[in-house]
Structure 1
Amino acid sequence: MKRFFLTLIAAAGLAGAAHAADPIEGVWQTEPDDGSFAYVTIAPCGGNYCGTISRTFNASGEYESPNKGKQIVRNMAAQGDGAYEGRVWRPSNDKVYLGKIQLNGNQMALRGCVAGGLFCARQNWVKVQ
């Protein structure tokens, strides 16, 4: 009986570890871009990760942006050591770029690049949830 309970506890521990969220999952606050910033909710999509604009803010506070609900981080694949690669959409110019993310705790360095990654713009996001 004792062995049964120990096996059950060990199995429960392994099941919990298997369902642990990836560090990229959660709600992230963007840097201001053209005077506005957003909360982006990153979650699994297929075998990778995608981020959707869940709340938007400007100098007056929270507002209903037409970009709310749109996917800004697209198909980010984990590369190991907190690195991810995929695509990012910049709402202010409606362009999609090669995207690279590097996580460091509750900080995210996100880059949108052109020319195969030779020229990149960068934003630092902070995890809020």
Structure 2
Amino acid sequence: MLKQSAAAVFLLVALTVTTFAADPIVGDWRTQSGETAAIAPCGGGNFCVTLKTGTYAGTKIGTLANTGGRYKGKITDPATNKTYTGKASISGTQMKMQGCVLGGLICQAQTWIRK
């Protein structure tokens, strides 16, 4: 009986840790233009953004780091190959992805939806 209880507690703790270990940005997202972008851990606490569908499928378009619930890093427009200061924030199933130049003076934002 004690072994079964210990196993049940261990399983519950393992599931809880696994659930909270996944960062909310990780997963597949539908971009504003309809492509699918995958966001996955890529080392050093960073998350890489790679297009899965569309003209630029397979292209890495960004790297973001979690800065306390918000994300900051670099985002590249694959059509122009220009890189911008990027940031993202998540609210429910939506992510606001923003790229800026001139220290944040000029920005362009998109809303992506979790798939």
Q: Could you state the TM-score of these two structures normalised by the residue count of structure 1?
A: 0.79
Query: 1:53 aligns to what?
Result: 51
Spell out, residue by residue over 1:74-96, the C-alpha distance to the aligned partner (whole angstroms, 9 max, x if none): 1x111223x11111111122111
Q: 1:126 & 1:110 partners in 2: Cα distance?
A: 10
Aligned Cα root-mean-square deviation (Å): 1.4
Query: 1:125 aligns to what?
Result: 112
Runs of 5+ unmatched residues, structure 2: none
Q: SS at 1:14's partner residue? A: helix
- Once the two structures are TM-superposed, the CA of residue 119 in structure 1 deviates from its matched residue by 1.8
Matches within 5 A, 1:47-126: 47-56=45-54, 65=55, 67-74=56-63, 76-81=64-69, 83-126=70-113
Identity %: 36
Q: SS at 2:67's partner residue? A: strand
Q: Confirm whether residue 24 of structure 1 aligns to residue 22 of structure 2.
A: no
Flag the structure with higher strand content: 1
Write the letter of the residue equivalent to 1:105. Answer: G
Write the letter of the residue equivalent to 1:80. Answer: G
Write the letter of the residue equivalent to 2:25. Answer: I
Q: 2:46 & 2:18 partners in 1: Cα distance?
A: 15
Write the letter of the residue equivalent to 1:117. Answer: G
102-111 or 11-20, which deviates more: 11-20
- Once the two structures are TM-superposed, the CA of residue 7 in structure 1 deviates from its matched residue by 2.2
Flag the structure with higher helix content: 2
Count of residue pairs brought into register by the alignment: 112
Spell out, residue by residue over 1:50-103, the C-alpha distance to the aligned partner (whole angstroms, 9 max, x if none): 1111011xxxxxxxx2x21011121x111223x111111111221111110000
- Once the two structures are TM-superposed, the CA of residue 6 in structure 1 deviates from its matched residue by 2.2
Write the letter of the residue equivalent to 2:12. Answer: G
